[in-house]
Amino acid sequence: MIWLWSASAKSLVRFHAHTQRMHVSTLTLNDGNKVPWIAFGTGTALYRQDVRHPVSLAIQSGFNHLDGAQEYENEEFLDAAIVASGKPRSELYITTKLGTLQAGATPKSALEESLRKLQLNHIDLYLIHHPKSHVGRLKEVWKGMEETKNAGLTKSIGVSNFTPDNLREILEDATIPPAVNQLEVHPYLLNALQLNLALHKQYNIVTSSYGALSPLVRGEGGPLDPVVENIRARLERTRGTPVSGGQVLLKFLQQKNILVVTTSSKAQRMDEYLDTENIPDLIPEEIQEIEAAGAKLHRRFFPRCWPPE
């Protein structure tokens, strides 16, 4: 990944992002609710960490979608950051995820515990974090997820890391289909996810991406690099202000109506992610070039979240 930014350019981008950040666009879920297309995640490097500072920075930067999980073990810190921000609850979109159920627990009781930690009376999106945590019980657990929505504890329900087989299993008896499936999604996996994406389209399930920037930050030297760099340079010329390679990939996913979860501990990087909203659209030929380059390499950066291939 090549960064060609001087200190003055960085300042310009930060100023540009703050002055133009008036609106984060949304995606419409299959239950009619809307979700901001980009979220600040509190997992990965922030796993089991005190996230008060980075979440406060994220909210200050303009993130209104905060993505947490019971497994991250930092929901109390997420609450503290929300309170400290002074941001009205109505202006925030909160996601959390169901972890492994303890004996006697249900998705509803687990969410009630999360709500206690978050000091909230409801969240916006509740996901089953890993199907492997509920082997042989997915239908039962999904019924429990439906119960949380019907009880008003969450506005929407969905899943994470679900394969096509996992999705088919719960859809057989579901009265409420998942609104979201959060997966590792980037150009190096688009071919491998075709069956997933077809089911998502059939049931109007929003695809959510984590690890979106992995091809650039974890997989440097791959076939995407020169394609992204050419598009980055074109967008920068068109825009007249700096554009990063990361923004190219984020814009690519945004134009595919994919919900992106990303994270950072740096305010400048947060500004950059949110500023993706303001850069020009990729043209169809550029989208095709990214897809073609991605198809040249199959690479998963979070293999523990997916069955062996």
How confident is the model at residue 46, as a pLDDT?
75
Residue 4 confidence (pLDDT) above 70: no
Tell me the sheet residues that pair with 210.
Answer: 184, 261
How confident is the model at residue 289, as a pLDDT?
98
Residue 72 a catalytic site member: yes
pLDDT interval class at 1 (50, 70, 90): very low
pLDDT interval class at 201 (50, 70, 90): very high
* N-term to C-term CA, the chain: 28
State how far the Cα of 79 lies from the Cα of 96, in Å rounded to an integer.
12
Active-site residue among 93, 126, 129, 210? 129
DSSP state of 25: -
* Block residue for tokens 């981008």: 13
* Block residue for tokens 């930050």: 217
- Nearest-CA neighbor of 190 among 172, 175, 178, 207? 207
When comparing pLDDT for 112 and 74, which is higher?
112
pLDDT interval class at 140 (50, 70, 90): very high
pLDDT interval class at 44 (50, 70, 90): confident
Is 249:186 a contact under the CB 8 Å cutoff?
yes
Q: Where are the beta strands (DSSP E) in 46-122?
A: 65-67, 93-98
Active-site residue among 65, 72, 130, 188? 72
Could you tell me the domains of the chain? 7-297 (3.20.20.100)
How confident is the model at residue 95, as a pLDDT?
97
Average pLDDT, the chain: 92
How confident is the model at residue 163, as a pLDDT?
98
Please tell me the number of Cα atoms within 13 Å of 240 on its side-chain side.
Answer: 1
**CA dihedral sign of residues 291, 296, 301, 302:** positive
Least confident of 5-9, 22-26, 115-119, 194-198: 5-9
User: C-alpha 267: how far from its chain's center?
Assistant: 18
State how far the Cα of 78 lies from the Cα of 68, in Å rounded to an integer.
8
Is 182:212 a contact under the CB 8 Å cutoff?
no
| pLDDT tens column, 159-196 | 999 999 999 999 999 999 999 999 999 999 999 999 99
- Averaged over 115-133, what is the pLDDT? 96
pLDDT interval class at 73 (50, 70, 90): confident
Residue 55 confidence (pLDDT) above 80: yes
Residue 273 a catalytic site member: no
- Averaged over 22-28, what is the pLDDT? 86
| pLDDT tens column, 222-266 | 999 999 999 999 999 999 999 999 999 999 999 999 999 999 999
- Nearest-CA neighbor of 94 among 71, 70, 129, 64? 64
Is 265:47 a contact under the CB 8 Å cutoff?
no
How confident is the model at residue 50, as a pLDDT?
85
Residue 8 confidence (pLDDT) above 90: no
pLDDT interval class at 49 (50, 70, 90): confident
| pLDDT tens column, 94-106 | 999 999 999 999 9
Neighbour-count burial of 103, counting CB atoms closer than 10 A to its CB (0-12 exposed, 13-18 middle, 19+ buried): exposed
How confident is the model at residue 16, as a pLDDT?
45
pTM: 0.92
